Amino acid sequence: MADEIKVCSVPVLSDSGQASDEFSLVGVSAFFWENGRTLQVRFLDGVPEVQSKVEQIAHQWSQFANIKFAFGSDPHAEIRISFQREGSWSKLGRSALEVTDPNEPTMNFGWLRSDTPDDEYSRVVLHEFGHALGFAHEHKHPEAGIKWNRTAVIDYYRQTQGWDEEKTVRNVLHAESKDATQFSKFDRDSIMLYAIPSQLTTDGFSVGWNTELSETDKQFVSEIYPFDSDRSSHLAATGVIYAVKPDGTLEWYRHKGWQDGSNDWAVDVKVIGSGWNSYTQIFSGGI
């Protein structure tokens, strides 16, 4: 068991094509859903026993996050789950909407079977639904401070996963830029962390497989998706977006399709002043 690893190779930040994504802890703001949403979930295949286990575990996140998962047969379900593709992975948060073919999965569980141990169900289902909520891998935390033995890591993932160096760098070794991030403390108990065998670090640091939500996972997700959400719901409900252009002008947009992501905008873009590019962060609020 010690040498058998099954890791998730979700395309995360580096695959988004946006070097300037902000994220907190290792959550990706741009990919978070509007707070308070009920996301529809549909199984594309799989046996009822396995589906039922996945559903039960996924709901754990909703105890701490103001997001509900409604499992059913909605053809337009935002999250579509298959058990037939290779590996286990999920689209990151709202990027699931980029998969427009309703027969294509946004999440896959490649190795869950009826007789898979319960703790493996817990580990992999909580982890992939964490991605679906917009969370990236914790070992890519800007301050993880993991002293990787680079050669050993590359050899290890080549042997166990068949990954080339580039894929291992992208999925494991590459820490996200501090400049582009907001984050709290590295959490070695996070469900979003891979196990780290001691032979992969130069100082003997290791982490086993985490199979439950950590206290930090619970606290963080409740801050991103708060139940007491005046602030977030007003912001989301208005659909108002401010954009700073490279020349420093501030533009106002209203997204009338904010609930379903449809391409429906208030017609007039309004320009509100100039010189806004001298600020590194701009937040908006109000009703």
Q: Which residues are at the interface with Zn ion (CB under 5 A)?
A: 8, 10
**Is the distance from CB of 77 to CB of 234 less than 8 angstroms?**
no
Q: Are 185 and 241 in contact (CB under 8 A)?
A: no
**Which residue number, 71 or 129, has a Cβ lying nearer to Zn ion?**
129
Cβ at position 162, least distance to Zn ion in Å:
17
Instruction: State in angstroms the smallest separation of the CB of 191 from Zn ion.
Output: 9
* Nearer to Zn ion among residue 190 and residue 232 (C-beta): 190
- Tell me the residue number closest to Zn ion, measured at CB: 8
> Least distance to Zn ion from the beta carbon of 90, Å?
7
- 8 vs 196 by CB, closer to Zn ion: 8
In whole angstroms, the minimum distance from the beta carbon of 281 to Zn ion comes to: 28
Q: Kindly tell me which of 8 and 107 has the beta carbon lying closer to Zn ion.
A: 8
Smallest distance from the beta carbon of 209 to Zn ion, in angstroms?
Answer: 12
Least Cβ distance, residue 10 to Zn ion (angstroms):
4
Which residue lies nearer to Zn ion by CB, 8 or 200? 8
Cβ-based nearer residue to Zn ion, 224 or 250: 224
